[in-house]
Amino acid sequence: MDNGAPSYATSRSRRSHRKSRLGCGNCKTRRVKCDETEPVCNNCLRHSIECDYGQPPSRSIGSVSNPKSDQRLKSQQKQTTDFAFISSSQSEFAVPKRARRETALKKTKPLPPSDTETAVAPRPFQFSVTDMALFHNCFSADDLKHHMPDELVRLGFSVHYVLRLLLAVSGFHMKRKPSRSNINLHQFSEPDVDFGAEAERHLRIAIQEVATTTPQLNQANSHSLYIASIYIFICSLARGPQRGEYLAFRDDGDMPSLQLFLGVRSILEAANRLGTSEGISQLHSSPSQDSPLETEAGSESTTISPSYGFNHHNFQEPYSYWQPLNDLQSLMNNTFEQSDPCYSTYQGVFKSLCSTYDAIMGVNAALGPDLWPQIFGWLYGLPDILVHDMQRKHPVALLLISFFSVLLNELDSVWFITGWPRHIVCGVSDNLDDYHRKFLTWPLHKLGLV
């Protein structure tokens, strides 16, 4: 070539570049070069639109797959799922501010949940017409309206599993105690609604949400979980005596309702470790007659004595519980050797039971709301060994729960306790042999079963 040729005519070698057809769809549509940056190209990032570069391309039928390409595309797809991008098709879209790529693609760390977010159940709650009828029954039924404090209702609207448990209790109440007032609620609910089934549905969802929240127990949700554990146990009683379920044991070997009650103890022990038990104790500043919230036994165990006076519930039978309990203690002494670890455990539970009998039927008998902590305090303090023996139907353990049922019968007028004492003793009788059944004579007589 002539050396005098102009510079623009001078031959230059083209700069080599990599050709690729793997750009994203947005760049191909706009006919611009895609930098193929993973997991989203700079063009899409700059325009705040979704980039499909990391998504695997559709293959035509009969195409041969490339293992290396497939592995690369899968890696791109996995990386893409770790990031969130703003789509221009979203409502209330606003153009984001310019920022460096490293900042924009930095994985966002979730903010720590607030107290309300920690407590509120993850499922959304939408009131149906039937739910409104159940809620109305909470404040119209005589058995419920005086035992639904405003604080509990406010907690229910903040913590949905508590609200579901309140509705479940109301549903079981309407199922077990139909009255003129709650029958009229049927006209305001869905046709042919089964309030018992609605109660079971709310209870089932609440148990699932409580089970999910309990491993994350903290100072923010300990109160609501404690209340929920109590009402789950109340619901197990509120559905009424069920065939094969006898509070402390079941015929099918499944978990009895007693385990639900001991869940209250587990929550309270965890709250003690967190230092939140003081706030929980404030919930029981004014216990009501139909709310067994105070469950801890506070009196020491003592031995029984015939000098305590008459049973104020039945003056025709002075000291009626003294001899049957002594017979039960003799059976325990003959069943367990003193060297047996179970001996001391059973003796401690028996003495606590005697102390409870003295408090309920002795000369200084408890009346009114004091029945709740006295009666359920014994149940609350049962050691795990004896709870296990009740579940496997050990004869002495079954006799202990039958004598407890006589005390529970003092609360039989409460709607969700009604029928349970007799039901438990009948179940015990069916699971005892002839020798041990003779020790059941007094509980059967006290409950009118003979």
Summarised one tens digit per residue, pLDDT across range 365-410 is: 655 556 888 899 999 999 999 999 999 999 999 999 999 999 999 9
Taking residue 402's Cβ as centre, other Cβ atoms within 10 Å add up to 27
Residue 20 has pLDDT above 80, yes or no: no
For the chain, give the number of residues: 450
For residue 407, CA distances in Å to 35, 61, 266, 313, 374 come to: 80, 77, 24, 11, 9
Is the Cβ–Cβ distance between 237 and 175 less than 8 Å?
no
What was the pLDDT predicted at 187? 56
Count CA within 13 A, CB hemisphere, residue 210.
Answer: 27
pLDDT top residue among 114 and 21? 21
Q: Per residue in 224-281, pLDDT tens? A: 999 999 999 999 999 999 999 999 999 998 899 999 999 888 888 888 888 765 555 5
CA torsion angle for 114, 115, 118, 124 (degrees, to 10)? -90
| Residue 351 near residue 301 (C-beta atoms within 8 A) | yes
pLDDT digits 0-9 by tens, 88-131: 444 444 544 444 444 433 443 444 444 433 444 455 678 888 89
Is this prediction's pTM over 0.95? no
- The chain-wide mean pLDDT, for the chain, equals 76
